[in-house]
């Protein structure tokens, strides 16, 4: 009977079942030989211990950000799509880890096979020689913690996309896109800068923890998806944006605070060691979040007369994204100011994206894209070693702008092609009109998020 | 007036008030003498500092798992029982800590008084000489952090039971069972393996972080309770399982992600030191969680046609439980595969338990019991030093099976007796039919979880 | 058009817009010169690394407490005020960080300009010379992590106030009060003890992690606000307290567990170093939380016949507040007992505050004020070096009482004046009767927390 139902399942949900093949196909690439233990362990120095411990904790904090993203996105969307949003966030992180483990990590950081400056591929990380005992030198990171930290970053890029395409994308098609993003697009883009040999790194581009490399990459990928999908039914009436309020502000607020503490792992962990810079980065991150909330609250109160909770939330996130590129190299006052400006920008950006009739349900492009760009440019203004306001001229600002443009072009082009191919293979990426109206929870997952509660009937 | 109401309260809620006596009785065992400070402190070596710091953080992560269990269980049950489930999870952890502090810790790890191979009891841990200054040697764990980490594990075993007996057990009777479990049953079982002298440890049984010692022990204890209670009203109609959907998928998803990060403390903390194995364990744990989600999602989609969010959640938890026994000693590919198989198993196990007409409201036995056994056996297959697939024959696999059976028999017998004695003392362990229908929140606690929301009327 | 709406917004929400000026005015005080890097870095010793790392993690845990406070307070209040409560908790922390950074930190810990024993002010911390490289000596804390940890404490004091004034205070006026509290009142009070030269420190007052300095300071500030506001409509009928049940017990329980783990940062972080005392403090904190839950559950069950979930939550918090003053210097049994008594006290205190017809919606004064005082006095009873029960006489108990009284008087007087001035400037601190009845979410923020759910109509 299970077999019979399986066959029916196969035909009724084609994309999910295609998906089923992917991990097995990937898995087939690996040989089932077991690992040999490396023999000689160096002494564990204080620096070694502190570095591994801090990076491990930072990785845990970044992984916890998945809970933050899930709560913010679900809370800011409607009840009828909550299961779908929660499922996307939960499942996509597990796929991102898998895809990044098989392919992405080696593209991003190894260089056995290279199209110079564009693609570096070092084989599968799925490497049987990586074991607990593999410590090569006492003062560097062990491969395992390095991988874990980077995989968590890859998951972040994928989850940003989720917000932009929410409430109308098919589950299986989104899942396939996420696999391609984390296995290929994000790692190739990342290798330009975080692999020491990358062309942008050699040009002197600065993006300490990923305002551009993670946040704007995810935002551009999602924006292309949002445009390909078109707006949700009822979002624009006569070209004017309508409010489709989120269903659960309690979990949205919780998600914002989880993201805030997760960002200490994201930014301060990007030092990739434990030293005196780590707590300093934590302070600039905190001040930018504070500035972001204040900026967004002031601007949104001036514009609408009342402080909107979703704008406080997005203001905090905007401040955090804005400081991500420069968190290690700006003064404390500059960090607060970068956040404040980021918080102000996000309010105008939301209105601007609405004005373009692009439907970004949770403001993800404004938070991660617009503020990702602002934060990257802010390095060229405020960095104490290279910024304009530190008397170093416009050179760094130019390099920062170049990086922003390069990432935008690369991600927009590759993701547009990817969305179109997925759409062509699986019969479109958008759910049917009737499914969208009744909610994706029933249509995509056959269940409700809150079946014991009566709906408000709107 | 308080006194009058107290007397009425005493008669109306007998079991809770019996309970009231327990901590006081235990407390009476301790003498109120104050601690003497140990004089000579050794130098704090780097290893000492890193070990204490990591174990403390790991303990905090494991304690945070209580929030994960509470949210998963409450979210997957019905609204009318939410207060009861939340109360159980919150209160039982405080009792587990207390009982384990008084009695359990000394049974599990000390050996002053021994029935050889069965019971070791070293007096009460409630030992006035344990103070902040008590550091015996510079490279070992201080007693306080060791106790805290182990107490958090004891709480985990107790909270697994909660899921299996949810939506029909009396609050006070559950509380009494939890005290006995954490003071006696879990520590005795644990001492077989984690106390170096235990008989299973000497046979070569491997259960690194507790797939069997914690997860299957909790699952067997709960299964016996679920059988003793019988199924919830309406769960089986004509022998066929009916869906009683959970009321809040947002908090269930959040709980799953909290458990995920808590598991880094659970597994990587079980190294009981900070070294290069710690981040490696974090990676195998991550890959198994990813594999579990993928396995469960594929199988449940093949079976039912749509990806079910509760199966993604249980798949992640299944992957995590499955890797717990072998997380330190398997290759990365094996970790992912162990998780994938665990995720597939959990789907079939849920159907199998339903088929037996045993009512496990949140699938706790399938996650912690079935996958606990699978994870323990998987050590015999994949462990790089002893596993079948590493060319070491069937010997280890046999020892692993022996351990699984020994724990099953011991826990089933002792818990069956315990549930029966509690039922006999307090007039049954199950709430009345009318209370079950109207919900345990009103019946057991006199309050509602969401009084401002209208019910869906189902 | 934005400009037009801005002007309208300005006139319709006076207090928020006044607020808008504050950060800019403060900002104007700072000079936009950039930081000079300190040149000579000392070697990073093991102690240095462990100290910074632990304090950073502790600061993250304390910052996470904001999520706990937000969830507990929102969950224990009514649905119609949820957005307001969430906004207060979120926004106030960002203001607290900003105000404490500009002014508070220097008042509390520096001493360039002194009214002896009362006020110490060392200029703005907003100091351009504070950079990542500023490490003065290898074994102390870097300024950045020290500031971050202390700023998180300041935020805690502010958020306690929020609970006492919930469901009836205007948003903007609360925000202004929080700025004054964290910039001036809390730092001045804190300097008496935690600045080594403070008069209470010199008298031998002991408050290790802030039962009085943080918790009772916040509680007194809020109590004065609650009295100034008067009770919520419908809270007291004929002088008798009515139940106004909280709307979401799931998030309240989650918040309690988040606070619990956050307290490990709060208490064990207050060691301000990593050593063998840190895990010991974590154990006393755990035992007190367990004791608090047991004490409150027993007493509330005896009084009302059924275990009330809100009392389990408040019992845990009561235990945690009670151990905060003495967590480093009491035996384990004393920690559990201090928590148990704290948990019992909180039940009676809630009834007592109700009896005074003071409306404390979430029991914040009972938890943080009453138990803050109890915890401070308990040091005089149980401290192993100075307590009455350790044979050291009544001397310490007297000093502890003096400290409690001094803080109560100072905070009550300064906060009463502050609330009155704010009320006078902005036309009262309480929302209109019609706004209170329809809910502050619409009135203050123009949005609902759960628009897709039907209300229960009560």
In the predicted structure, residue A207 carries a pLDDT above the cut 80: yes
Above 50 in pLDDT, residue A218? yes
Across the interface, do C37 and A384 touch by the CB < 8 Å criterion? yes
Helix H or strand E segment including C237: strand C236-237
DSSP string spanning C129-181? T--TT---STTS--HHHHHHHHHHHHHHHHHHHHHHTTTTB-HHHHHHHHHHI
- Give the pLDDT score at A33: 28
Instruction: Identify the chains in contact with C, defined as 3+ C-beta pairs within 8 A.
Output: A, B
Asked if pLDDT for residue C139 goes beyond 80, the answer is no
Q: How far is C245 from chain B (nearest CA, A)?
A: 7
For A203-272, the DSSP string reads HT---SS-IIIIIIHHHHHHHHHHHHH-PPTTSEETTEE-----S-HHHHHHHHHHHHHHHIIIIIGGG-
User: How does pLDDT run across B388-397, given as a tens digit for each residue?
Assistant: 998 888 999 9
When pLDDT is averaged across residues A124-139 and rounded to a whole number, the result is 52
Mean residue pLDDT across chain B: 86
C-chain residues near B138 (CB < 8 A):
none
pLDDT at A4: 41
pLDDT at residue B15 is higher than 60: no
pLDDT for res B37? 35
For the stretch A409-429, pLDDT in tens is 999 999 999 999 999 998 899
Number of Cβ atoms within 10 Å of the Cβ of C196: 10
What is the reported pLDDT for A41? Answer: 45
In which element (H, E) is residue A113 found?
strand A113-115
Query: B47 in contact with A at a CB cutoff of 8 Å?
Result: yes
For residue B276, name the pLDDT band (cuts at 50, 70, 90): confident
Q: What is the spatial distance between Cα B414 and Cα B343, in angstroms, rounded to a whole number? A: 30
- A49 contact B CB<8A: yes
Q: For residue C318, what are its two tokens? A: 């009561």
Q: Considering the entire predicted model, what is its pTM?
A: 0.92
Is residue C136 over pLDDT 60? no
Which of C18, C144, C179, C248 is the best mutation test for A, with the most CBs of A within 10 A? C144
Q: Is the pLDDT of residue C38 over 70?
A: no
Residues 109-148 of C with CB under 8 A from A: 126-128, 130-135, 142, 144-145, 147-148
Cβ distance of C56 and A278 shorter than 8 Å: yes
Q: What is the C-alpha to C-alpha distance for residues C137 and C122, in angstroms, rounded to an integer?
A: 21
CB A122 within 8 A of CB A26: no
Instruction: Give the pLDDT confidence of B396-454 residue by residue, as tens digits.
Output: 999 999 999 999 999 999 999 999 999 999 889 999 999 999 999 999 999 999 999 99
- Pairwise CB contact (< 8 Å): C452 & A456: yes
Contact between chains at A247 and C451 (C-beta distance less than 8 A) = yes
The Cα of C132 is separated from the nearest Cα of chain A by a number of Å equal to 5
Are B329 and B377 within 8 A, CB to CB? no
Chain B residues with CB-CB distance to C456 below 8 A? 451-455
pLDDT at B114 over 60: no
Mutate to test the interface with A, among B302, B320, B340 (most CBs of A within 10 A): B302
Residues of C with CB below 8 A from A384's CB?
A: 34-35, 37, 131
C-beta separation of A339 from A298 below 8 A: no
Q: How many CB atoms are located within 10 Å of the residue B115 CB?
A: 9
Q: Which of residues 401-420 of B touch C (CB under 8 A)?
A: none
Choose, out of A209, A331, A341, A342, the residue to mutate when testing the contact with C (most C CBs < 10 Å): A331
Q: Which one of C331, C339, C384, C449 would you mutate to disrupt binding with B, by most B Cβ within 10 Å of its Cβ?
A: C331
Mean pLDDT across chain C? 86
Give me the residue label for tokens 């009561």.
Answer: C318
Q: What is the pLDDT of residue C102?
A: 84
Span A197-222, average pLDDT: 94
Q: Is pLDDT above 70 for A392? A: yes
| Interfacial C residues in 196-255 facing B (CB < 8 Å) | 245-251, 253-254
DSSP structural state of residue B449: S
| B35, B144, B248 member nearest C279 (Cβ) | B144
Give the closest residue to C338 by CA, choosing from C373, C288, C263: C288
Find chain A residues with C-beta within 8 A of B289's C-beta: 94, 97
Mean pLDDT of A275-291: 93
State how beta strands C119-121 and C113-115 pair: antiparallel
Q: What percent of chain C has pLDDT over 90?
A: 70
Cβ distance of B245 and A451 shorter than 8 Å: yes
C331 touches chain B (CB under 8 A): yes
pLDDT at residue A110, as a whole number: 67
Query: What pLDDT score was predicted for residue A127?
Result: 54
pLDDT at A113 over 90: no
In the block, which residue shows the tokens 């009772």?
Answer: C216
* CA B21 – CA B28 distance, rounded (Å): 10
Reduced to 3 states (helix: H, G, I; strand: E, B; else coil), residue B426 is: helix
Q: Are C200 and C224 in contact (CB under 8 A)?
A: no
Q: How many residues does chain C have?
A: 458
Is the pLDDT at A268 greater than 50? The verdict is yes
> What is the average pLDDT across C182-210?
90
Q: How deeply is A43 buried, as exposed, middle or buried, from its count of CB atoms within 10 A (0-12, 13-18, 19+)?
A: exposed
Q: How confident is the model at residue C46 (pLDDT cuts 50, 70, 90)?
A: confident
Tens digit of each residue's pLDDT (9 = 90 or more) over A319-342: 999 999 999 999 888 999 999 999
Please answer whether residues B249 and B312 qualify as being in contact, where contact means their C-beta atoms are separated by less than 8 angstroms.
no
Taking the CA atoms of residue B113, residue B116, residue B119 and residue B121 in that order, the dihedral angle to the nearest 10 degrees is: 20
Q: Does A61 touch chain C (CB under 8 A)?
A: yes
Q: What is the CA radius of gyration of chain C?
A: 22
Query: What does the mean pLDDT of chain A come to?
Result: 86
Name the more confident of B134 and B218.
B218
SS3 C453: strand
Q: Report the pLDDT value the prediction gives residue A275, as an integer from 0 to 100.
A: 86
For residues C76-81, average pLDDT: 96
- How far apart, in whole angstroms, are the C-alpha atoms of residue C97 and residue C126? 12
3-class SS string, B186-222: HHHHHHCCCCCCCHHHHHCCCCCCCHHHHHHHHHHHH
Q: pLDDT band for C247, please (50, 70, 90 cuts).
A: very high
Average pLDDT (A246-256) is: 97
φ, ψ of residue B333 to 5 degrees: the values are: -65, -35
What tens digit of pLDDT does each residue of A4-45 get?
444 344 444 554 545 544 544 444 443 232 233 333 444 567
- The pLDDT value given to residue B145: 87
């Amino acid at each position: 009977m299970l077999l019979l139902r399986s066959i029916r399942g196969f035909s009724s949900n084609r994309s999910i079942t295609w998906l089923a093949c992917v991990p097995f196909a990937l898995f087939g690439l690996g040989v089932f030989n077991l690992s040999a233990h490396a023999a000689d362990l160096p002494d564990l120095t204080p620096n070694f211990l502190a570095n591994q411990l801090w990076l491990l904790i930072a990785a845990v904090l970044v992984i916890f950000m998945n809970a933050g993203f899930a709560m913010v996105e679900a809370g800011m969307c409607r009840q009828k799509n909550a299961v779908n949003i929660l499922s996307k966030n939960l499942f996509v992180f597990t796929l991102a880890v898998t895809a990044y483990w098989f392919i992405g990590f080696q593209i991003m950081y190894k260089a056995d096979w290279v199209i110079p400056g564009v693609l570096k591929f070092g084989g599968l990380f799925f490497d049987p020689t990586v074991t607990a005992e593999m410590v090569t030198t006492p003062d560097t990171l062990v491969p395992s913690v390095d991988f874990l930290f980077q995989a968590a970053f890859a998951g972040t890029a994928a989850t940003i996309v989720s917000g932009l395409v929410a409430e109308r994308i098919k589950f299986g098609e989104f899942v396939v896109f996420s696999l391609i993003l984390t296995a290929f697009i994000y790692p190739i883009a990342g290798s330009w800068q975080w692999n020491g040999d990358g062309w942008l790194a050699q040009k002197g581009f600065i993006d300490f923890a990923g305002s551009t490399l993670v946040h704007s990459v995810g935002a551009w990928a999602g924006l292309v998806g949002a445009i390909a999908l078109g707006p949700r039914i009822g979002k624009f009436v006569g070209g004017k944006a309508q409010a489709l309020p989120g269903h659960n502000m309690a979990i949205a607020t919780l998600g914002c605070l989880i993201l805030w503490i997760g960002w200490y792992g994201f930014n301060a962990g990007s030092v990739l060691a434990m030293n005196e810079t780590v707590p300093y980065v934590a302070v600039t991150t905190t001040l930018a979040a504070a500035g972001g909330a204040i900026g967004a609250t002031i601007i949104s109160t001036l514009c609408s007369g009342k402080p909107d909770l979703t704008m406080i939330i997005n203001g905090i996130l905007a401040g955090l994204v804005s400081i991500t590129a420069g968190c290690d190299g700006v003064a404390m006052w500059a960090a607060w100011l970068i956040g404040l400006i980021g918080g102000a920008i996000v309010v105008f950006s939301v209105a601007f994206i609405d004005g373009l009739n692009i439907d970004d349900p949770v403001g993800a492009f404004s938070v991660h894209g617009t503020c990702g760009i602002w934060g990257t440019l802010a390095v060229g203004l405020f960095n104490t070693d290279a910024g304009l306001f530190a008397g170093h001229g416009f050179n760094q600002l130019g390099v920062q702008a170049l990086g922003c443009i390069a990432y935008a072009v690369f991600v927009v082009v590759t993701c547009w092609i990817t969305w179109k191919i997925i759409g062509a293979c699986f019969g479109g990426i958008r759910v049917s009109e009737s499914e969208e109206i009744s909610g994706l929870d029933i249509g995509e997952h056959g269940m409700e998020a809150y079946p014991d509660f009566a709906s408000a009937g709107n």
